[in-house]
Amino acid sequence: MEQTEELIPHLFRTEYRKLTAVLTKIFGLEHIEIAEDISSDTFLMASETWGIKGLPENPVAWLYTVAKNKAKDYLKRNTLFDQKIVPHIQSRTSEIEEFEIDLSDQNITDCQLQMMFAICHPSIPSEAQISLSLRVLCGFGIDEIANAF
């Protein structure tokens, strides 16, 4: 455990910038936040996984593999969004222009409940569910959530 606590900060200092640079090349400089998010999420996953399962045989290769898989998943989701959701939204453009946002107490409550169910979807890791719940539903800041973890 102690070895993991020392290794992750070291790897973060040496590998985070490399991962982010490679991912930025894929997503483009205008989307550097995507590259940073994937890199950060990779290190979060490392700290969680390695703390439970122990260090992998090659920690740097593990980081690169996880980051690569996360980037592929992101690109797949974007492709699906572009192919399935965007055409539907574009076909409803006239409806959207006349769209009224309902900010009644009942609608706000209903939307929060829907958000809670969406955040608790089984495909989302439990740590992410907690973080999202605290951020989106409770209004906690990122620093507050990080300190809580």
pLDDT tens-digit readout, 76-121: 888 887 777 777 777 665 555 555 667 777 888 888 888 888 888 8
Whole-number Cα distances in Å, 22 to 15, 26, 40, 115: 11, 7, 14, 33
Alpha carbons within 13 angstroms on the beta-carbon side of residue 148 total 11
Q: What was the pLDDT predicted at 63?
A: 94
**Mean pLDDT for the stretch of residues 6-12:** 88
pLDDT range class, residue 67, cuts 50, 70, 90: very high
* Percentages (nearest 5) of helix, strand, coil residues in the chain: 85, 0, 15
pLDDT > 70 fraction of the chain, expressed in percent and rounded: 89
Separation between Cα atoms, residue 11 and residue 60, nearest integer Å: 8
Mean pLDDT score, 14-24: 90
**Given this model, what pLDDT does residue 95 score?**
55
pLDDT digits (tens, 9 = 90+) for 134-144: 887 787 878 88
> According to the model, what pLDDT value does residue 98 have?
59
Which of the pair, 69 or 79, is modelled with greater confidence? 69
